Amino acid sequence: MARVLLLFFSLLSLFAYAHSTEPFCFFRPPKGWQRGEFPKSCRQVRVLFALPKSEGFQPSIGLAVEPVHVSLSEYLKKVREIHEKEKGSQWRALGKVHTAAGQAQLTQIDSPSEWGLVRMLQLILVKEEAVYVVTAAALKEEFSQFYKPFQEAFRSLTLTEDLFQVVDQMERRERLKEKREGVLALAEGGVLEALLKKAVWKEFAKEVDEASSELGSHWQFLALKEAQEEFLHRGGTMQPQKL
């Protein structure tokens, strides 16, 4: 009996220390849109892409990820309460959208600003104790120009544990893995600053760039960032160590 209890508790101890990792989430932003800055206080925002403009309101599309323990309908109720508290804002549910990550809910918010009435579309996907919110925004009077690229971005919303698994061609997938391993082989004692100037990194970045013609610049950003983070995780450092 004691042995059984001993085995039982030792197994449970292992489970108590188990950790889960967040899957990669990306969408395909409109072509030519650049990654933009956003307030650091918005800790749930992962990325933002904006149309470069010298003046006026800048159309943008961004992704936020929030851990939740509620259903989609409960989340929508909360979101409606939040948006309707803003003076002059109008919120409404538009219906379901089928994305690569699953079925999501589309909502619309019209909100006044210094530039005029801003229209935002928020795509909300709840999956495995997390909510993924893609927010597309433009001036209401200009919104029709961006409706199609916004719809394409929404439909492309993807969740994956492996960034290379979503690459269609097997040969390209294999080349990407090979180039990535070539980069990571330099991790032990390597310096990230120096790595980025080496041919091995440039070859990997070139391969990622070619794949991004199909998957978009958000996927490209994630693939490069993941390789750099893994390089640091496997023993690389940001800058040369002072002796």
Partner 1 sequence: MRRCILLLMLFSFVAPLAADGLDEYKEDADNLYRTGSGAEEGAFTAISTSMLGWGIGLSLGIAILASVLHQSSSSHAHTTTSSTTGQ
Binding interface with partner 1 (CB under 8 A): 2, 5-6, 9-10, 12-13, 16-17, 36-39, 42-45, 48, 50, 53, 56-58, 60, 62-70, 74-75, 78-79, 81-83, 109, 111, 113, 115, 118, 120, 122, 124, 131-137
Nearer to partner 1, 101 or 133 (CB): 133
Nearer to partner 1, 42 or 232 (CB): 42
Q: Is 121 exposed, middle or buried (0-12, 13-18, 19+ CB in 10 A)?
A: buried
Please provide residue 56's backbone torsions phi and psi, each rounded to the nearest 5 degrees.
80, -175
CB of 148 to partner 1, least distance (A): 19
Answer yes or no: are the C-beta atoms of 122 and 105 closer than 8 Å: no
Nearer to partner 1, 134 or 227 (CB): 134
CB of 41 to partner 1, least distance (A): 8
Nearer to partner 1, 17 or 239 (CB): 17
What does the alpha-carbon distance between residue 204 and residue 34 come to, in Å, rounded to a whole number? 21
Residue 177 has which token pair? 């893995």
Nearer to partner 1, 83 or 175 (CB): 83
Please provide residue 23's backbone torsions phi and psi, each rounded to the nearest 5 degrees.
-70, 165
CB of 19 to partner 1, least distance (A): 11
What does the alpha-carbon distance between residue 195 and residue 181 come to, in Å, rounded to a whole number? 13
CB of 154 to partner 1, least distance (A): 13
Q: By C-alpha distance, which of 69, 48, 72 is closest to 60?
A: 48
